[in-house]
Amino acid sequence: MDLSLTTRSEGDHTIVAVGGEIDVYTAPKLREQLIDLVSAGQYHLIVNMESVEFLDSTGLGVLVGGLKRVRAHDGSLRLVCTQERILKIFRITGLTKVFPIHSSEEEALAATD
Amino acid sequence: MAAVELRFSPLDEHVRTARLIAAAVGRRSRVAGVLIDEVKLAVGEACARAVALHRRAAPGELVLVRLIGDEQTFTIEVRDYGPTGEDLPPTQDGTRLSAIQLLADDELLAGGQPVGLGLAIIEGLVDRVAFAPATDGPGTVVTMSWPLPVDGIDLDNDDLDAVDLGTGNLSAVELGAIEKAIEEAVDDPAPAGSAPADTGPGNAGPGEPRGSGGDGELVRARHDDFA
């Protein structure tokens, strides 16, 4: 299972739907995608992780790197995730305090905090 | 006691191979189905750490993973040949880094590895984990273990159906997944400069068997049954 990435725009937000395994081998693809979006002036990102089957620390590092990039432009990076096994990794590492995590794309799009 | 031993070149793609093998052997050793995700994540983090250390300090050495099942415990040892414990903090309890520290780490913007985060995940996931200097040369051994269900008590292990415990064979599905992962990893062209050209026997590590030279990259698994 490789990593799949699809992006689409919703207003001034860009939704990145990620599927498959985000690990030390595949995470660079996600990093490039996030860098490309920020370079193209997309500063409000929503990463939908509902189809992610595996996430490791490298993947977390890429998401934190993406968050730092968009913040540099007063942007935002929100996550959509309801999978307990993925959420657990964010809790263990304390990153639930860093990322806004939503249960649906609609909720993420509507969020203003 | 039964054991499986895996050695692999320090390449990122082989970390997935190690995860799949650990999950298959874990199931075979009767690790509860709900814990298999933890086994995969923990062994993946330990192997990714080892690969990063090797790439920096021991690119010609193979990372060693031992998967050991006995009656009560499933144990995974990940042994690297990098600088001994230089990324390990003096204490082995408590959180290794905070999210705030992580946010302050500019290495992440440059594509660097989040040092310490993998260890934090291992410690958060695995109740029984130890980091110890290797006793036969440079490097660190990360030992992680999981309790096995007592006979007759099924800890919600739905995945056991997929494993033929009677003969000790992996299921065809698991074998297929492992073979495919190894094939994919070996078929992929190695990144430039990563092929260890010096894996000849003359360069063998202290007391450790080495892979045959000239293959560029290498995955070897050995299955020993001591029972």
pLDDT in tens, A9-28: 999 999 999 999 999 999 99
Q: What percentage of chain B has pLDDT greater than the value 90?
A: 38
CATH number of residue A15's parent domain: 3.30.750.24
What is the structure's pLDDT at B223? 55
Q: Give the range of the structural domain holding residue A10, as residue numbers without chain letter.
A: 3-83+98-107
Is A88 domain-assigned? no
Asked whether the beta carbons of residue A61 and residue B124 sit closer than 8 angstroms, the reply is no
The stretch B78-92 carries a mean pLDDT of 71
Q: Name the average pLDDT for chain B.
A: 73
User: B155-169: per-residue pLDDT in tens?
Assistant: 554 544 444 444 445
CATH number of residue B49's parent domain: 3.30.565.10
**Does the structure show a pLDDT above 80 at B112?**
no
Q: What's phi and psi for A29, nearest 5 deg? A: -65, -40
Higher pLDDT, B221 or B163: B221
Asked whether the beta carbons of residue A94 and residue B98 sit closer than 8 angstroms, the reply is yes
The beta-carbon neighbor of B114 closest among A21, A60, A67 is A60
Q: Among A70-79, B174-183, B189-198, where is mean pLDDT lowest?
A: B189-198
Is A93 domain-assigned? no
Q: Give the range of the structural domain holding residue B88, as residue numbers without chain letter.
A: 2-225
Higher pLDDT, B214 or A63: A63
CA distance A71 to chain B (A): 11
Is A112 domain-assigned? no
CA distance B15 to chain A (A): 8
Whether residue B217 lies within 8 A of chain A, CB to CB, comes out as: no
Is A41 domain-assigned? yes
Total number of domains in chain A:
1
Note if the pTM is more than 0.80. Answer: no
The beta-carbon neighbor of B12 closest among A25, A31, A98 is A25
What is the structure's pLDDT at B113? 59
Total number of domains in chain B:
1
Is A89 domain-assigned? no
User: A78-104: per-residue pLDDT in tens?
Assistant: 999 999 999 999 998 888 989 999 999
Is A30 domain-assigned? yes
